[in-house]
């Protein structure tokens, strides 16, 4: 389960739970990057959730940084923006 909660305008808390444990992550998403990926066609929370689904397909929840800006995902997974971007 992935739960996304808004802390303020750009900061979110993401909780990932599975049958054995949970992890918490703090994510920054600025408006410019949000619009680049979605053109405003989905909520920020949904973009963050889909981004974590993308990450979890590639690594364990324990391997995901505890705090990061969403745009750094593309530094580690160059296919991120093309796969996550809404057309």
pLDDT in tens, 66-83: 999 999 999 999 999 999
The model's pTM: 0.94
* 14 DSSP β-pair partners: 4, 25
The residue ranges of DSSP E strands in 7-87, in sequence order, are 11-17, 22-28, 67-69
Contacts of 33 (CB under 8 A, 6+ apart): 70, 71
Confidence band of 87 (pLDDT split at 50, 70, 90): low
pLDDT value for 61: 95
pLDDT value for 86: 77
CA distances for 34 relative to 10, 30, 31, 41, 46, angstroms: 10, 6, 5, 10, 11
Average pLDDT of the segment spanning 35-48: 96
The encoded tokens of residue 42 equal 């989905």
Number of domains in the chain: 1
- The predicted-structure confidence for 42-53, as pLDDT tens digits, reads as follows 999 999 999 999
Which long-range contacts does 54-60 make (Cβ < 8 Å, 24+ apart)? Answer: 54/80, 54/83, 54/84, 56/2, 56/16
Q: Which domain holds residue 53?
A: 2-84
The encoded tokens of residue 48 equal 């963050």
């Amino acid at each position: 389960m992935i739960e996304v909660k808004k802390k303020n305008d750009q900061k979110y808390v993401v909780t990932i739970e599975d049958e054995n444990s949970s992890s918490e992550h703090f994510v920054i998403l600025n408006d410019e990057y949000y619009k680049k990926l979605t053109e405003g066609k989905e909520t920020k929370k949904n973009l963050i959730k889909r981004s974590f689904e993308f990450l979890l397909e590639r690594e364990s929840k324990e391997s995901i940084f505890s705090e990061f800006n969403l745009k750094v995902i593309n530094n580690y997974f160059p296919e991120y923006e093309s796969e996550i971007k809404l057309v």
